[in-house]
A and B are shown apart, each in its own frame.
Chain A
Amino acid sequence: MASNPFAKGGKKRPGIVQDLTPMVDVAFLLLTFFMLTTVFSRPQAMEINLPESDEGVEIAESKLLTLRVAADGAVYWNIARNTPERTTMDSLNPILVRELRARPDLVTLVKVDREANYVSTVDILDELQLAEITRFALAPMTPQDVTELQAVGAPVTPVEAEAAPAAGTPAAPTTPQ
């Protein structure tokens, strides 16, 4: 601490004057490298909670809002035993909000065709989350679903009869703690 670098005056500083330029160059080079390689954004995670037990929950069919995704990614929705109506992922949100406002006791059941893309599953879970539906069931397609969808001309993949569970397995996404 012999010399104050901010000292005014035209006097030559005593001692060794070190040229810092190369060190600063290297420092900035490394700084640029680390700045460009750093990735700050961590991927998002969509939390899913499956029920602990395998027991199906009995739900009255009249209270069921079924969302089915066909093999081509189109969404078919219906309440109770109504004919499935075709819609798209983008126009699903108003439907969900409208139907659930009219009947808050509705239970949502999601069925995705095995041949559909995984992005459909994520999209539909995302739509449910946006519509603030936190309790829903995620179930595989049953042969009955396939016949119902084929009746309205949807492209679906046939499923074997034995792979049909009695009821959907409820799944609820959790909110962050």
Chain B
Amino acid sequence: MKTRKNEIWAAYQKEIADDHYFFARSCIRQNFFPAAENLYINILRNELGKDIFDDARQTTCTGIAYHSGIIPFETIMTVVARQFSLMNEAGYENFVASCVTSFGIYIEVMDTWKHFPETEQKTREALKRATGKTFKIPKNLVHASDVIYKFRKEIAAKAKFRLINQNTREPLKVVDHIGCHYAKIFPQEGIGGAEYPYVLAGLIDEWGGKQVDYPERRHCCGFGFRQYLLKSNRGYSVSNSKKKFDSMQTFKPDLIIANCPGCTFFLDRWQYVIAEMEGKTYGEDGYGIPVLTYEELAGLLLGYDPWDIGLQTHQVTVEPLLDKLGIVYDPEKKYKGRNGEDIGIPENPQVLRCC
């Protein structure tokens, strides 16, 4: 049921540049879903005809270190300033952050500079002394999922598949999980704000699926930064993800999509851990619920081969979803290396069913 507040936020649209993007990569995505960012760039360049620049000189934004308390705010502000400087040097004005933690960081830093102008001045001086660089603040700064949302209709028009179960002809039930730092820190920076984020729900609606509105929809995945980074503290992380899985299970979701690198990772891997530790699985027939990023879902619907876009690097196997979508795939190709090289296959977990 839609509320008045929901309608107010639905009417709100933030500005998302139309073209010419500087792409800031994510540490977690590059490591744990290593094909996702190239797929994103390919969709923008080849499917949507957009210009997106991938700078070899960029580095981490240091956000994980900042939110874990091991580096000062002054340090991350200056690293952010260096990223802006690279964007300026490359001739771009529109900044696209691949990571939700980074997106929150960039917004937080710019907001701080507005409220405490002396911090911007000090950052400029520090960057100049350290690197000789100067910078201009981006004209437009958005998260990577915002751009997919902006062009969701164009993607739908080119899609070979829709979020429809080919056996039942019913819409697939899709859980959307929005990273906390996408809009909980600065609600006006997220499509739909913090309470009714529409950035992924809009994709589900446009691409033929059905949103799952479960009680813990807005709860954190449980990353917790320093809580996950220490083996001794990881109970925090898995407990919060489990709270979400237990809450969504009643609704029998076919798929989870997330816009945050950490969330995608945790919602995938903690299903494996809960299965192995407690014997509990959340999908059908002993499988987990597949977890995809927004561009992985777009890529599948556009007809990209699931193994070319790295879906074999997810611990929760995606084949049940591919079967529902009617996507034909070659099981033999799944675990092949470069040039079809035979590199063996992963061990099967004891409980979580994998293909």
Q: Do A and B bind each other?
A: no
Instruction: Report which A residues bind B (CB closer than 8 A).
Output: none
Which residues of B are interface residues toward A (Cβ below 8 A)? Answer: none
